[in-house]
Structures are given as C-alpha cells and as structure tokens.
Structure 1
C-alpha cells in the first residue's frame, strides 16, 4: 500500500514537472495588420480583392505551431481590380446568394486540426467553413517571428458556390468561372 502511494506521488510529481516545462501559448492575430487577398479565375480573365479577418489565434507548444482558429468577415469582401460602378456591381454579386450569401453567412471560419513540420515550415490541415459547408483543406504555412503566411487553393463547388460553375451548369462557354480560387494569407501577431 505504501509502495503504491509512493509510486502515485512520483507519477504526479513527474507529470507536474513535464507540464511546467512545456510552454503552450495562444497568440492573438493582429487583424488590422493582417491581410487576406483572393483571386478568382474565369475563361475570359480574373478578378481579385480582399477579405478582412475578424479574429484569429495561433497556438504554439514550445515555439512549434500546433493549432489555431480564424474567422473571416465575409461582409468585408472587396474587389481591388475594378473601379466605380463595375466594382460595386461585382462586389454586390459576390456577396449575393449566387456566390457567398453574406446576408445569411456573414462569416467564414477555419480551424486547424493537424500540423506537421518544424522550424517554421508547416503542412497545416484544417476545417474551412463557407456558407455553412465545412470541408478539409491542407496547405503549407510559413511562420517567421511574429508573422505567418499561407497560400490556399479553394474549390468553391464544395461550399455550394455554384454561379458560373461547370460543375453544376452546362454550355457556359466563355461565361464559365473556374471552381478553384486563391486565398493568400499574411498574418501578423
């Protein structure tokens, strides 16, 4: 009995020691200094713009990336390659139910579920939710001091973003919009 108590005490002390030397920290992303840009492609060209980050955190254990959560403000979606009426028209269309339906879905989110790598070079896997649809995405992320960068390819057809998609409609010809679009993320924390 005395032996069991001593063993239990030893295990408890060992566990406390390990925990005390393991540094876990959440770093809040500075949403004002961070930037998300997007680029969409169609048969006849492309368009690009920005989306604001509403909130975000990156989790580190012993200075190694282990997780994170992000919320994007879809109402902030802007077009940067057009001006005037054409800019406003495209922004309104992208925010409509044809695309991202921001009235019903004002945010999109990403939760990191798995991280592989070291020395600031990571392969990140997580759950991306757009328009209430969640799918797994994997991409490379580089973390350097107080910043992180990533480039993602997103297949919009997996998120019920159907307008102009040859995955849902036939005979679109030069009106077709490709399913994949780019998100380039530059986080500051």
Structure 2
C-alpha cells in the first residue's frame, strides 16, 4: 500500500513538472500583469510594496522550464501602506545609498541556473510548488545564488509563475539598520512574493530582457 502511495505522489510531481507543450518555447514577461512584492519589518512595524519585472522564460523541447532571466528596475519600487508625503520619504531612502543605491546600481537581476522538480510540502513556500529554481541574484554589484520552490503552470496559453521566499539583504551588503543593538533595527530578512505572467513569443523569437 505504501508503495502505491509513493508511486502516486511521484507521478503527481512529474505531472506538474511536465505540464507544458512539447515544443521548445520562449515566453516574454507581461510587465502589466507581473510584480514582485516585498515585505520588510522592524520589531514594531512593517511596510509592504512591489517592483516591476521584465525578462523571459525558456522551455525545453520536452516542455520543461530550462532557464530564464529577469530584470527588476529599482526606480519602479512602490509602497502600499503609507500616505504621502511619508511614502515618498520612505521610497527615496530605499533608493538612496542607504539601501539600493539606485544611482550606482539601477537594476537587480535574476538568472536561472538550475531547474528541478519539487515535491515538498513546506507550507512557508507557495502552495502547489512543482519546480525548484536555483539562480544567480545580483544586487548592489554582488551576485549570490538563491534557491526556492515555485508554482509554474500554463493559464490560457500564458506561463504563470508564483513563489514566496525570504531574502537576507545583508548577504548582498545592504546592512543599514541591521544591528539589533541599534535604536532603529530592520530585520535582515525581506519576504518576497512574486507573480510573473509571461506570454509565448512568436516562433523563432527569443524572450527579451
């Protein structure tokens, strides 16, 4: 009985992993329908907002995700929870050398370097995750590898990706207010929630950043 359950679980994972058509394809991110949300917090308050994202995802001839590159413009950052002019004060600080240093580093980038099937059940990640993505994330001139589960599926001929994970900003040198002994302390981990919708490009085209 246990063997039957195990085989069924493996089959379910593989079904999600191979859910796309068999043609090698490129999908272009739909900027208007995509966003990367962020959630940052201190011990007594928090803020939430988002960034725009552009880029593309490539599928293999077997219909599996095989790669992708994405660009996140720092200038696109928005805050959801504060009124003006306090909101603008926060955003200007985040764009400054205290955090993203937008003048010197106007973009962050993510490039997928490894793709695998995901069959875990950790509820801290996005529901129904079927892929495990590893890639190089570049911010503030530094590049480090990150890995996270993602739920990737087709919806009306588009490729839709959802994922949730934590990003330790100090690993990329963003250390402002990261000392717990400081009067103003901001937790190093930023919660990331991404929703990316990508449309299939014309035959022969490649997805553009």
Class of the TM-score when normalised by the shorter of the 2 chains: 0.7 to 0.9
2:76 matches 1:101: no
* 1:177 equivalent among 155, 177, 186: 186
The residue that corresponds to 1:39 in the other structure is 39
Q: Is the 8 A contact 2:117 2:131 kept in 1?
A: yes
Which sections of structure 1, spanning at least 5 residues, go unmatched?
Answer: 1-21
Aligned equivalent of 1:160: 173
Matches of 1:65 and 1:162 in 2, distance apart? Answer: 34
The count of aligned residue pairs is 163
User: Quick check: 1:152–1:183 contact (8 Å CA) kept in 2?
Assistant: yes
Unpaired stretches in structure 2, ≥5 consecutive residues: 1-21, 120-128, 199-209
1:86 maps to 2:86: yes
1:100 offset after TM fit, Å? Answer: 0.4
2:150 to 141, 145, 168: 141
Bigger RCO (CA 8 Å, 6+ sep): 2
Higher strand residue share: 1
RMSD: 1.6
Bigger Rg, which one: 1
Structure 2 CA distance, aligned partners of 1:157 and 1:101?
Answer: 14
1:26–1:59 Cα contact (<8 Å) kept: yes
Partner of 2:77: 77
1:118 CA drift (Å): 7.0
**C-alpha distance in 1, partners of 2:51/2:85?**
20
Task: Indicate yes or no: 2:196 matched with 1:187.
Answer: yes
1:121 aligns with 2:127: no
Cα distance between partner residues in 1 of 2:44 and 2:176: 15
Q: Deviations over 1:64-97 (max 9, x none)?
A: 1111100001111111110111101100000000
Conserved? CA contact 1:72–1:108, under 8 Å: yes
Normalising to structure 1: TM-score of the pair? 0.82
Q: Is the 8 A contact 2:118 2:149 kept in 1?
A: no
